[in-house]
Amino acid sequence: MRYFITGTAGFIGFHVARRLLEDGHEVLGFDGMTPYYSLRLKEARNAALAQFPGFRPVVGMLEDKPLLEKESAGFRPDVLIHLAAQAGVRYSLENPKAYLDSNLVGSWNVLEIARNQGVDHLMLASTSSVYGANPEVPFREADKADEPLTFYAASKKAMELMAHSYAHLYKVPTTAFRFFTVYGPWGRPDMALFKFVKAMIEDREIEIYGEGKMSRDFTYIDDLVDSIIDLSRIFPGEENRVAGIDTLSAQGPFRVVNIGGGQPSGLLDFVETIERIMGKPARRKMLPMQKGDVPRTFASPDLLVALTGRKPGTGLEEGVEAFVKWYLDHRHEVD
């Protein structure tokens, strides 16, 4: 099959593209190669994908609609997986316009491509941040998600709503999946695990926000990829409606699915896991919760399990160990 994937030089897009290429599919990768973090890391990911004959990279911004149209028309994708975005909760406080341009204007361009190309399935990356400070746990897809705490979260919820309208108006089969704190090899340098391991190697303090009282539903990258590929084969429709818990819209072929294991860990437990694997204590700097942070994330995986038969299950110890090993092997590429 032919997959058009946005964000293939990014953390998640790279892993999804690599798995599909390993399975013999063709992938057209579209990425802006923005300097939000190390271009060396993005270039290293692209170089790894370039080893596969079925991969073709395109450098361009999501806001460049003519380029998107040209490349997608020439490729004729079966499935469009939209993973590119301006990421980062905290950065949205500094530069909200980047989120407007990429996550709203860029995502609308992707919707237009899906509509005009008549793709079999459009898949969109959303986030657990849309739940805000939801007091009800675990977070269920049908929970109210109308009180975002950051512009990043607001931009992702807006993308979901725009996609629903296209599913209704143009019958574009669409699945939006909400990620929960994804981590693993080739991860982003602005994420906690990357920052903590790097700081510990360099004997610097690690900054622990919320006085360490926060918790997160960590999702290992390989589990996430499994779920995305599983869901890509499940077109939203009445034939696979899940009684009682489904988010399948009555207005069009549109569904929202959490991708999380439903097993949150405390931030201090996360730090202690890193310390055990690194074989040294971290120099901890306890800080108050930052503006826009949420105290916890906690996925309900019930719909994901009902649809695919499985959920993320890699333990924190195994996942952190895999990241540390990767980082030690690739420091020269990413620092």
Q: Are 20 and 42 in contact (CB under 8 A)?
A: no
- Strand 55-59 and strand 265-266: the pairing is unpaired
For residues 199 and 40, give the distance between their C-alpha atoms in angstroms, rounded to a whole number: 19
Q: Are 317 and 183 in contact (CB under 8 A)?
A: no
Q: Are 227 and 187 in contact (CB under 8 A)?
A: no
Alpha helices per DSSP H over 10-58: 11-22, 39-49
The answer for residues whose C-beta is within 8 angstroms of residue 44's C-beta and 6 or more apart is 330, 333, 334
Indicate the DSSP class of residue 76.
-
End-to-end CA distance of the chain: 36
List active site positions: 152
Helix/strand/coil for 4: strand
- Backbone dihedral angles phi then psi of residue 207, each to the nearest 5 degrees: -95, 120
| 230-255 as b/e: b if 16+ CB within 10 A | bbbebebeeeeeeeeebbbeeebbbb
Q: Do you know the residue count of the chain?
A: 335
The Cβ of residue 261 has, within 10 Å, a number of other Cβ atoms equal to: 21
